[in-house]
Structure 1
């Protein structure tokens, strides 16, 4: 995949840098209401609605807001003019980009989150971060629209599948629960001591190396060369995995969005029967719900993981 620095596709601008406590908060329906975007990773980054000040020009619409601190690298498409707080950048496309393409880049930017922390914020490095070139965006993304008939039908089909899993789950009682090991085969990951981890996906042979994390977007610890990894430690897109270590990360479970290699604190769960994506996502949620049973000193490893009780969906 061809990667280019952010600055090739976007102008990198610092937001208007307003303090929320110096603005007047109003309801969303107020005639002069304008979104206030902070460094939050939730609600599209909008932390309040404030009254627009005539003398202060807002950040322009159809730009991507990027948190330079706080929930660092949280990236959202802002479709309307907005104010912003400290350490908030916005990216203005240098060429015409559709809503679908801008949303794609929001995801691409957010996947760089693992490179930063509270003590290592985004500043001058934002412009040089590597993202896919616009020529690499699949046609399926460029042409997708929830507004046309195909998009609506796809949403309705997915909603029906999710509801089917939910209805099965709602009719289960404790007598139908099974140990996790009766539903899944459990495989351990690969220690980092056996690998060369690279910070960027510099070529097509590099795939994500997954670590425990509270968020799937921050579970990428780097990239490893697939040619140097045992084949039985490379798992495909759609694979369910669970974090087995870390005080703030244990027990969180996700379904992989691409091929990956897990580290030694991540266990991969392969269903003993064919599962739909919706069923895998349901089990990821159910496994995560057992988090309260564990702690940093009592990890969900080995038999503790295998004996977690789950409904037989």
Structure 2
């Protein structure tokens, strides 16, 4: 059985604040400002408290009513202000955190009904979602704390900013031996299933598009798409794998840690604007290509800095 959103939540318009008229603050001292942003739980910035304007309390839900992120819905776990075209929802019945998160997903799943020109400001209350009695039973058994602490960094050391470091150009062929992947047809992929990652020219999932039975490349390397929509997308591969013929594989000529590999892969990905489907980053062109990297006093790539920089980033403890 489905019921309107208004039977589960009190829906009201938010503060309709403009971020450019507010005073920015640090995350530790300010109030979260939630916009129609799709990522980062909708939080665009932190701002100073506004006299006479009470933030919405932790536990309320923000829901974008328009824009490209229409119906982006987030549970806010700290007091917050909202920008224009963002509604605030508060449960009018007793709900667990897991149930609230499930309802956020249900509301967000209605995004296909809207567009930039068709907003949800008049219809959010009437959107149909499951009644409390019809929620799946597995929700109560979900461990929603399983990812707590996943955003922790490896280190809290001080690291100079990227802008304060000298950077230099280094040929990829100076740093890596470059090798080409090998083609497997779709028919071959179907007949050779396995647990070995098959790296295709895609821009997500660390490049893994299938599983095969044999590895042809070593782990501890970087794969770079030279063809397709994901051209120049680069990924660190920690285990042996098979790379397709649309992928080049970079074998380091130095001791490359996972942290350094992630830094360099990110830098390589910034070269994407130079290439397209009609201008591929093939092996010969890649050998002649150079990337910018931080330098040490000897004018060499500063791998120690790259390692330290990655290790102070959020989520690095979960990745490295």
What SS does the corresponding residue of 2:125 show, helix, strand or coil? helix
CA 1:105/1:176 → structure 2, altered by over 3 Å: closer, same or farther? same
Q: Out of 70, 80, 83, which is 2:81 matched to?
A: 83
Report 1:1-313 matches (<5 A).
Answer: 2-30=1-29, 33-70=30-67, 71-147=69-145, 174=179, 177-182=182-187, 184=189, 272=193, 285-286=206-207, 290-292=228-230
Give the superposition deviation at 1:140.
Answer: 2.3
CA distance in 2, matches of 1:291, 1:282: 8
Q: Deviations over 1:192-222 (max 9, x none)?
A: xxxxxxxxxxxxxxxxxxxxxxxxxxxxxxx
Task: Provide TM-score, normalisation by structure 2.
Answer: 0.51
The answer on whether the counterparts of 1:286 and 1:310 sit within 8 Å (CA) in structure 2 is no
Check the 8 A contact 2:203/2:229 in 1, yes or no.
no
Compute the displacement of 1:3 (Å): 1.7
Aligned residues: 190
Distance in 2 of aligned mates of 1:114 and 1:307 = 36
- In the TM superposition, residue 145 of structure 1 has moved relative to its aligned partner by 2.3
Inter-CA distance 5–308: structure 2 relative to 1 (3 Å threshold): farther
Could you tell me how far apart the structure 1 residues matched to 2:24 and 2:102 are? 31
Preserved CA contact (<8 Å) 1:181 1:307: no
Alpha-carbon distance in 2 for matches of 1:291, 1:44: 28
Q: Indicate conservation of the 8 Å contact 1:180/1:310, yes or no.
A: no
Q: How far is the alpha carbon of 1:282 from its aligned partner?
A: 10
Structure 2 vs 1, CA of residues 27 and 108 (structure 1 numbering), >3 Å: closer, same or farther? same
The answer to whether the 8 A contact 1:179-1:309 is kept is no
User: CA offsets per residue over residues 62-100 of structure 1, 9 Å max, x none?
Assistant: 111110112111110011211011100011101011111
- Please provide the CA RMSD for this pair: 3.7
Please give the alpha-carbon distance, in whole angstroms, between the structure 2 residues aligned to 1:61 and 1:111. 23
Does the C-alpha gap of structure 1 residues 18 and 114 become closer, same or farther in structure 2, counting only changes over 3 Å?
same
- 1:118-157 Cα deviation digits (max 9, x unpaired): 00011111011111222222232223224479xx9xxxxx
Find the counterpart in structure 2 of residue 170 from structure 1. none
Once residues 80 and 141 of structure 1 are traced to their aligned partners in structure 2, the CA distance between those partners, rounded to angstroms, is 23
C-alpha distance in 2, partners of 1:271/1:118? 44
